[in-house]
Amino acid sequence: MNSEEIAKLAGVSRSTVSRVVNGYTNVPPETKERVEQIIREYGYIPNTSARNLAGKPSNVIGLFFVEYGVLEENIIHSSPFYSEFLANSIDRLKKQDCQLVVSIINRIEDFDMVETAFINKTMAGCILMGDIVPNSVLEKLGKLGCPTILVNQRSSIDYPYIFLMNTENYKGAYQAVQLLVNHGHKRIAHITGSVEKTSIKERFEGYRDCLLHNQIPVNESYIYYSHIHRAESGYQAVLKMMADNKGNEPTAIFAANDLLAFGAMRGLKELGLKIPQDISIIGYDNAELSQYMSPPLTTVQVSVEKIARMTVDSLLLVIRKKEAIPVYSQLKEFTLMERGSVAPVKTPG
């Protein structure tokens, strides 16, 4: 597929296709949309973009945070992991003489801007993180030849130009729950998110397997799911958890991230429960605020600076074609930060 064939399909001249590809404004909106739609459908990579991939890329990288259906809140501000990843990505790209453009995707339709930015040469590649990116989107980006890295999204992928960057989740969760078991806890609850997402799924599996390996049954009434990984979700989960398990309340909670843990701590205190005397709690991510909670939150630390650096460096290697990178990469390092929110299980009497 070349620009002449695209022009025929769109019913326009070859020069019009060139103006659309190069981002000129003197093209009627309906014509521009028709040409871009055909480009997306046929996976056409303009020669200019091909030259970019061959060694003269744009110096702009796109970072897109995906969270469907949440329009009233800026997820970059509300998520310590996202905001820290953003700050470290900017620093790393500045050292590489590159720039970062950032946007939030709340609807499937918003992915069109990712494709258009690459087609128009305003972006050389992108990083996607947050909610699951549909296969249809990844297939289009792959056909366009847009280098894309998914962060903590999936465990496998099979599209050209699409790569994975993950952190260690299973072992971190396993060790967190094992710490609770070592303190005598058997009624251990889990506040989690959508297990479609690899990082959340692996943390759930670490929780589940640690219980089973210690001959502790997995009690479904102790597992609470939330699509939105916010403090409010942790707060609501705790209130429901304690009401649902009256007389058999959990003695410890493992939250899939620190935000959920923060909300859970507030809920526990409103219910008159003391942490850790009455109930222990562990989070994940080691958000900066975790050490200043009352009591300081025990959590699993993964270096956001390192995952941002690995992500940026890998993407630039692909764009500049200096060398190939593995389709799947993982930062395996983590640290269990033991603080004041965990104590031995409270014995009756």
- What value does the mean pLDDT take over residues 205-226? 96
Domain contains 297: yes
Output the six-digit token pair for 120: 């128009």
User: What's the predicted TM-score (pTM) here?
Assistant: 0.80
The yes-or-no verdict on residue 45 having pLDDT over 60 is no
Q: Does the residue 81 lie in any domain? A: no
Q: Please, which pLDDT band fits residue 44 given cuts at 50, 70 and 90?
A: low
Higher-pLDDT residue of 5, 183: 183
pLDDT for res 54 = 43
Separation CA 211–CA 185 (nearest Å): 10
Q: Pairing between strand 328-331 and 162-167?
A: parallel
Within a domain: residue 327? Answer: no
188, part of any domain: yes
Q: In degrees, to the nearest 5, what angle opens at C-alpha 313 toward C-alphas 323 and 170? A: 105
Q: For residue 27, give the CATH number of its domain.
A: 1.10.260.40
* Rounded average pLDDT over 84-91: 94
pLDDT at residue 195, rounded to an integer? 79
Residue 292: inside a domain: yes
> The domain containing residue 1 runs over which residues?
1-44
How many folded domains does the chain comprise?
2
The CATH number covering residue 220 comes to 3.40.50.2300
Q: Is residue 309 part of a domain?
A: no
Q: Classify the phi-psi angles of 11: left when phi > 0, otherwise alpha if psi is within -120 to 50, otherwise beta.
A: left
Is residue 74 in a domain?
Answer: no
For range 236-258, the mean pLDDT: 96
Residue 210 lies in a domain: yes
